[in-house]
A and B are shown apart, each in its own frame.
Chain A
Amino acid sequence: MEGMAGQKSSLVWVVNISAFLLVLLWTIPTLGLFVSSFRDRDQISTSGWWQSFSGSEQTGFVRTGTADDQVERDGLYVIEGTALEGTQELTAWGTGARSPAEFAPGDTVEIDPGVNVTVAGDGTYQMTSAQPFEMTRGERIFTTTLSPPSFTIDNYNRVLTAGGLGRAFMNTMTVTIPATVIPILIAAFAAYALAWMQFPGRALLTACVVGLLVVPLQVALIPLLRLHNELGIGKGYLGIWLAHTGFGLPLAVYLLRNYMVGLPREVIESARVDGASEFQIFRRIILPLSFPALASFAIFQFLWVWNDLLVATVFLGNTREQLVMTGLLRELMGSRGGEWEILATSAFISIAVPLLVFFAMQKYLVRGLLAGSVKGG
């Protein structure tokens, strides 16, 4: 990038490998969730997701037939049967609980004097003895089998058709869209006034907006909840839209003002000279030119509102019908800690939308970040 003269090729390799490792480290956690959401509960609780590509090992045991099942063949007494169900593949077997995987498939082992056992790869066993068998309980055969890697979309079917996620998804949507659209309009007008209109107190107001950027919204929870109750708004969508609008405004005004200040002065001045009113200038010139900044704020606000837990918990309530997706996830983590497959799938669905928005609109997000931060220093 910097036109380093004479870069050694070994250095290039080091850079590539380190970058790869770093990216891997940052991607693995999300990948883990993604893979887990396609595994059923037994798989999740018996092996790590990173082992799911190599198939999973299972252990079990069966009892052989008893003396009643023996047949005489070529002078030997034989008990036959199969130790496996279905089409599993045997990787190891044994005859004692202490060493359940002692032998390889096909091995022949003498378990008692004159009594031989062999288990083949397909699971069929054969126990032979020169003397007639007399036992009434079968011998135990321990098996270790390998099932091929398997993934399922059952979790998604289950979660999407029941379990409240659909409802939570709708709730989140209902909260997010108005809470993203409304602040933009209010902020755009304010930002224009701060950037291009002359009036006393302009610098002070701008400073206030910068200051309000960092107010922890925890401070606002109780006073606002009371205010809403007194105004008769109470808990509900209206309250949460208003709250998100209020909390998002400082960033919106700040971002948009910074962007609008940078618009070419000549365009605006000449429009004024031509007799355009401020309102016309705003609508015909400023708004269209500010599209990139509007887009970056919209993404910020969308991600922030979609991902928010605290404001939703406080302003919307916690009953099943009111939960947004983050609230639902939290509940799943608490009450159904054991249902990993539901948790993983719900979590992935809840992060899928922001991830889509992120990858589709990354350009604007980066631009907004740069406008919001670098200029501050």
Chain B
Amino acid sequence: MELLWLAVSTIVIGVFGCVAWFWGSNWLLDRIYPPRGAKAGDNIRRAGQIRPWLFLGPAILFLSMYLVYPVLDSFWRSLFNSNGSSFVGLDNYIWLMGDAKFRESMVNNMMWLLVVPALSTVFGLIAAQLTDRIKWGNIGKSLIFMPMAISFVGAGVIWKFIYEYRASGETQIGLLNWIVTQFGGEPQIWLTLPVWNNLLLMIVLVWIQTGFAMVILSAALRGIPEETIEAAILDGASPLQVFFKIKVPQIMGTIAVVWTTITIVVLKVFDIVFVMTNGQWGTQVLANLMYDWMFRGTPDYGRGSAIAIVLMILVTPIMVWNIYNARKEVR
């Protein structure tokens, strides 16, 4: 109950504070430069120069304090030793290059980068194409889209039930092992099986992201001009040809957007690995490795920050590409 009051009062104070800031600062501005009287023109111009910054102020404060400053600070900290007491230059990065766990994480992250965006986009495209053509398509879409609302941790629990292992001969309670034994195979402890376990963790993320890809691609598919499709059909193109040679090329831009968006999610993947294997059995990824260095045992902020900066460097190309596209659109 106390908690509830705390939450409610925060909302009230927070909202009231924001409104007070915006309203109060505007009121003050109009007081200092009243838009009437002898110098009305001048005052309006001056107030117009200041006002945008009143509107932007809190956002800029938050963005610089919670995103820009940490990036710079992390970079700075990555040049120091474990507790930040002495400057070590690039030693942390050099150490990373030689560290077996870091290499494993890099290789795994690359595998994630190849597999998850590709599978999610392909499944999303198939799902979009199929559900757009049937009567119950919207229900189908909802159900495929649904995992999007489930937390990575929740998804971890859900899939743990699927990957669960029981010794050979016992009743399998994990769906995957049950299917395997039904076909006469041996049950496996999937999450400890190198390489396979990585793939099985990726499937969890594919399961979550496919709905996202489907929603975006479905909208793009519907935006394709009908004439191009009709012309192709008149020319005798088969449905598959229409799909691959007419539709897909026309939505390439959207596919790229979906691909990069999922790529960003993948680079940051943490929760799934954290709760399902915690990076054991060869499933380590960068974000979880960073967490290990920062919060487990004796924290090593230098190395942890160095890993964070590697992550940052990996997303930078996509960041540049996004900015480039956004600016192109503005023009």
Contact = CB atoms under 8 A, between A and B. Distances in A.
Contacts, number: 348
A330 B3 contact: no
A23 B22 contact: no
B319 interface: yes
A113 B158 CA distance: 55
Interface in B233-254: 233, 239, 253-254
A193 B51 CA distance: 9
A214 B140 contact: no
B323 to A, nearest CB: 5
Contacts of B73: 222-223
A351 B151 contact: yes
Interface in B205-257: 207, 210-212, 215-216, 219-220, 222, 224, 226, 229-230, 233, 239, 253-254, 256-257
B89 interface: no
Of B63, B144, B178, B295, the most chain A CB neighbours within 10 A belong to B63
A377 B328 CA distance: 9
Contact of A48 (B131, B173, B226): B173
A377 B77 contact: no
A370 B222 CA distance: 13
A193 B59 CA distance: 11
A40 interface: no
A370 B143 contact: no
Given A181-B14, A329-B153, A218 B175 contact: no
A314 B253 CA distance: 37
Contact of B274 (A36, A216, A221, A309): A309
A38 B24 CA distance: 55
Interface stretch (B99-107, B111-119, B159-167, B193-201): B159-167
A19 B305 contact: no
Nearest to B145: A362
Which range holds the interface residue count of chain A?
35 or more
Contacts of A358: 145-146, 148-149
Contacts of A249: 59, 62-63, 66
Given A170-B4, A222-B301, A212 B63 contact: yes
Given A219-B312, A375-B329, A48 B175 contact: yes
Q: Chain B: interface residue count, which band?
A: 35 or more
B151 A189 contact: no
A246 to B, nearest CB: 2
Contacts of B275: 309, 329-330, 333
Contacts of B267: 216
Interface in A158-212: 170-171, 173-174, 177-178, 181-182, 185-187, 189-190, 192-194, 197-199, 202-203, 205-212
B323 A22 contact: no
B189 interface: no
B91 interface: no
Contact of A1 (B23, B62, B132): B132
Interface string A1-33: 111110000010001101110110011111011
B62 to A, nearest CB: 5
B22 A279 contact: yes
B90 interface: no
A97 interface: no
Interface in B24-70: 26, 30, 48-49, 51-53, 55-56, 58-60, 62-63, 65-70
A155 interface: no
Given A205-B56, A223-B73, A309-B151, A2 B66 contact: no
Contacts of A229: none
A71 interface: no
A271 interface: no
A306 interface: yes
B320 to A, nearest CB: 8
Given A174-B4, A193-B52, A355-B149, A19 B253 contact: no
A187 B59 contact: yes
Nearest to B19: A185
Contacts of A11: 239
A219 B207 contact: no
A163 B247 CA distance: 53
Contacts of B96: none
Residue from the set A30, A50, A242 with the largest chain B CB neighbour count within 10 Å: A30
B151 A306 contact: yes
Interface string A257-279: 00000000000000000000111
Contacts of A330: 153, 274-275
Given A15-B130, A29-B162, A309-B271, A216 B326 contact: no
A95 to B, nearest CB: 22
A279 B327 contact: no
B94 interface: no
A141 interface: no
A285 interface: no
A46 B287 contact: no
A369 B257 CA distance: 12
A19 B325 CA distance: 34
Contact of A214 (B49, B63, B224, B264): B264
A66 interface: no
A333 B156 contact: yes
30 contacts: A3-B226, A19-B131, A19-B133, A27-B143, A48-B175, A177-B7, A185-B15, A185-B19, A186-B18, A197-B51, A199-B53, A207-B327, A210-B323, A210-B326, A216-B315, A217-B268, A222-B294, A222-B301, A222-B304, A223-B77, A249-B66, A250-B63, A282-B55, A326-B153, A333-B156, A333-B160, A347-B154, A351-B149, A358-B149, A377-B256
Interface of A: 1-5, 11, 15-16, 18-20, 22-23, 26-30, 32-33, 36, 44-50, 170-171, 173-174, 177-178, 181-182, 185-187, 189-190, 192-194, 197-199, 202-203, 205-224, 227, 237-238, 241-243, 245-247, 249-250, 253, 277-279, 282, 303, 306-310, 314, 326, 329-330, 333, 340, 343-344, 347, 350-351, 354-355, 357-359, 362, 366, 369-370, 373-377
